[in-house]
């Protein structure tokens, strides 16, 4: 998770930090310079050159050109923002973003959340840009944003959703020499889906020991929440086939493979399958 990607959280954090810098320097220009260059560098430059204001410091010190330009640019942006028309800018403000927030405890697949509130996973991801993976953080409570008016719907869905359906992915620790393609082949997934679920760019090399989440089909969250499906455990017997079990439990071979992370069609007697069947 990277909360710097959330515009509201990042803006509030920046404002708090600027206030702290102002309390240190007692001057907004020095606070802005420190925001750009670092408070230590600005403090050392002030002490070395005996300057107590930014404009003097900018003329006599060795502050980076970027920092010397940064403060005047902020002033210019403020002036333009107050009278955009005078400077030839036609600014159309973005509509106010509205949403509901729901506290979600532990890891929950974003696709399951999207299904609960009957929207696309891309909508959930756009409302929660700090989530770099396809799930909420484990071992903590995270306030998930969902479209306005959908908060109660999500709360009710998650309250009745079986624990085994909250997360529709597996975890994998990258081994030596492994690539997205080889991992995808192992789990019967697509390399692009794994990259997207983990916030990886195309061609990204995998670090040995890194933990990836492997998405599998989320499926049937609202059916489960509504009580129209229930989880059963089938002990595989000699002669069982996926086709026969799919017919018996009124589902599909594809769902059986997805629910149990099967890459082939062969079944081993004595193993157990988890099946979400319609009541």
Give the tokens for residue 119: 């929207």
Give the tokens for residue 168: 């529709």
| Cβ neighbour number for residue 204 with a 10 Å cutoff | 12
Give the tokens for residue 51: 């300057």
What percent of the chain is predicted at pLDDT more than 90? 30
What's the average model confidence in pLDDT over 107-119?
A: 86
pLDDT tens-place string over residues 9-64 = 899 999 999 999 999 999 999 999 999 999 999 999 999 888 899 999 998 888 89
Strand partners, 235: 272
What's the average model confidence in pLDDT over 215-223?
A: 54
- Judged against a pLDDT cut of 70, whether residue 270 lies above it is answered with yes
The predicted pLDDT at position 54 comes to 94
Stronger pLDDT, 199 or 222, i.e. the higher one: 199
The predicted pLDDT at position 203 comes to 67
Question: E strands of the chain, at which residues?
Answer: 99-105, 141-147, 169-173, 211-215, 229-235, 272-278
Q: For residue 21, with 0-12 CB atoms within 10 Å meaning exposed, 13-18 middle and 19 or more buried, which class applies?
A: buried
Eight-state DSSP code of residue 274: E
- C-alpha 158/C-alpha 155 separation (Å) is 5
Beta carbons within 8 Å of 68's beta carbon, 6+ residues apart: 58
User: What is the three-state SS of 106-149?
Assistant: CCCEHHHHHHHCCCCHHHHHHHCCCCCCCECCCCCEEEEEEECC
| Cβ neighbour number for residue 24 with a 10 Å cutoff | 14
Torsion sign (Cα): 145, 149, 150, 153: positive
The predicted pLDDT at position 206 comes to 86
The predicted pLDDT at position 250 comes to 79
Strand partners, 169: 215
How far is Cα of residue 113 from the mean position of the Cα atoms in its chain?
13
């Amino acid at each position: 998770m990277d909360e710097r990607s959330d515009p509201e959280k990042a803006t509030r954090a920046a404002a708090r930090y600027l206030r702290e810098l102002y309390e240190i320097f007692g001057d907004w220009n020095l606070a802005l310079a420190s925001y750009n260059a670092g408070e230590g560098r600005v403090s050392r430059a002030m002490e070395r050159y005996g300057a107590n204001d930014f404009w003097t410091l900018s003329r006599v010190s060795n502050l980076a050109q970027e920092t010397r330009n940064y403060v005047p640019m902020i002033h210019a942006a403020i002036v333009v923002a107050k009278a955009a028309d005078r400077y030839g800018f036609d600014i159309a403000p973005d509509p106010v973003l509205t949403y509901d927030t729901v506290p979600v405890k532990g890891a929950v697949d974003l696709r399951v959340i999207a299904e609960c509130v009957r929207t696309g996973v891309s909508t959930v991801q756009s409302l929660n840009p700090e989530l770099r993976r396809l799930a909420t953080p484990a071992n903590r409570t995270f306030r998930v944003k969902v479209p306005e008016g959908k908060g109660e719907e999500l709360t009710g869905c998650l309250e009745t959703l079986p624990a085994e359906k909250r997360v529709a992915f597996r975890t994998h620790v990258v081994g030596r020499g492994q690539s997205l393609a080889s991992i995808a082949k192992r789990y019967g997934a697509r390399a692009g889906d794994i990259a997207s679920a983990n916030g990886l760019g195309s061609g990204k090399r995998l670090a040995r020991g890194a933990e990836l989440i492997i998405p599998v089909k989320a499926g049937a969250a609202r059916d489960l929440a509504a009580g129209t499906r229930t989880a059963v455990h089938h002990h595989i017997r000699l002669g069982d086939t996926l086709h026969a079990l799919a017919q018996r439990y009124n589902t599909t071979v594809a769902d059986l493979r997805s629910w149990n992370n099967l890459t082939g069609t062969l079944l081993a007697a004595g193993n157990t399958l988890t099946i979400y069947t319609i009541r």
